[in-house]
Amino acid sequence: MSKITIRNTENVSAIATISNLTIKMRSLLYIAAFIVALLTLVPAEACTSAIISGRATKSGRPLLWKHRDTGTEWNHIAHMQGKRFAYTGLVNSAEEGPEQVWAGANERGFAIMNTASYNMKPDSLKYLPENEGKIMKQALGECASVAEFEEFLKNMPLPRALETNYGVIDADGAAAYFEVWDYGYKKYDVNDATQYPNGYVIRSNYSFSGAQDEGKGYIRYQNAEYLIHNAYAAGALSVEWIFSSVSRSFYHAIFGNDILKSSLLETNGWAVDQDFIPRKSSSASIVIEGVRKGDNPDATTIWSVLGYPPCGYAVASWVKAKNEIAEPIAACDNGRSFINRLAVALKREVFPITRGNGSRYMRMDIITRAIKALHPYEVESMRAASKVRDRIAKEGFNIKFVREYNDFVKSSAPNAEEIVSTVKDISRN
């Protein structure tokens, strides 16, 4: 939740002698700030993320990854027009407008995502709503590059009402994290080989420039560090690998193993949802794949797994296609996408206990079967999208390529009821 406090409540007796008018004016100011905060209140964002430079990936293309954790269960991919540029990104399905974007790319190849930070303590967030999503929406509409984004930050009015880690890449290969708070920011250049020789940087819910040992997500950070480092060493870093081996990984740094592969699952199948990268609050996994030097920026690809990632599959989209977004990830059914609805239905089976502390317990056997059932759809979707991406990179954008892909993923989408029934029915697996 957004952090809201009413200041000076302990000093009521001390101001008793102040004039009634002064008291009323002060009270009205507090009430007004509180109402504004309530009207714009959104669930707190958590998330795990990484930026991987092109020098570390199999394809030579940079990757911007966000595993979204939030109280908002429904999201989809939408296209919008900004002040300077059009852009496509992840938005909350219930939000009109929308006023916020949680990860996205624009027509110039600039892309952005974030993770909330909880160890920079900006004073503004004691009485103002958080601005992370609104700033990303504005930046996508106004910034063509990482350099322009940095100027954008410098020119923001203060206090910024921000406590966040922004990750950004652009079509020229620039890649950086910006840890941003009310009156400043610190930049981490992912391409600085002296600082990041392996070519990647990870962030969860604390900032390296913030208060030490405060914030959240320390174990999730270690999970991601272990997984990504091993993949880097093996030369395996790719979009496909991130979805299959990070966003659906139940590796736990404290236990030192992946509970999804534990022998305990053979006899029981239950586990406690605590400090894994995929959590009950996970609502999407997004990878924005940039372009290699010399490639057409229109080939920048937004890969999306909507809903609880172990129960969904990836579908691609491109900014230049505008509103022609594949139906499984667009807002087609009362504002909700097909894949998000499927993932939510399956997640209900993963977390079947609703009373008491039961919501903390998950069925790992259901997760295993869901991943297995949806894997073929993801393989085919990503194979077809990769061909579109490569054609755009070499030949330039052609809406025909995208339409053929969109038709394919729509026609080949699974029957949701059959998938849920199959995953639930042990005898059929």
pLDDT tier, 211 (very low <50, low <70, confident <90, very high otherwise): very high
12-26, 92-106, 133-147: least confidently modelled range: 12-26
Asked whether 368 and 250 are in contact (CB, 8 A), the reply is: no
Instruction: Supply 266's token pair.
Output: 């053979």
Instruction: Supply 232's token pair.
Output: 């880097």
Indicate the SS3 state at residue 100. Answer: coil
Mean pLDDT of the chain: 89
Query: For 307-415, where are the alpha helices, taking DSSP H only?
Result: 338-350, 364-395, 399-411
pLDDT in the model for residue 264 = 62
pLDDT in the model for residue 300 = 98
**pLDDT tens figures, 36-57:** 333 333 346 789 999 999 999 9
In Å, how far from its chain's centre is CA 124? 24
Residue type, 241: W
Give the pLDDT mean for 160-178. 97
User: DSSP states of 24-91 as a string?
Assistant: HHHHHHHHHHHHHHHHT--PPP--EEEEE-GGGSSSS--EEEEEEE-S---EEEEEEE-SS-EEEEEE
**pLDDT tens figures, 367-405:** 999 999 999 999 999 999 999 999 999 999 999 999 999
pLDDT in the model for residue 7 = 31
Across-strand partners of 66? 49, 286
71-80, 87-96, 126-135, 146-155: least confidently modelled range: 126-135
In 3D, which of 284, 322, 297 has the Cα closest to residue 169? Answer: 297
Give the pLDDT mean for 328-344. 94
Instruction: Supply 295's token pair.
Output: 């490639």
**pLDDT tens figures, 10-36:** 333 333 333 343 333 333 333 333 333
Instruction: Supply 298's token pair.
Output: 């229109």
Instruction: Supply 289's token pair.
Output: 């794949």
Residue type, 89: G
In Å, how far from its chain's centre is CA 209? 21
Residues 6+ away with beta carbon under 8 Å from 383: none
Instruction: Give the whole-angstrom CA distance, residue 321 versus residue 235.
Output: 32
For residue 428, is pLDDT > 70?
A: no
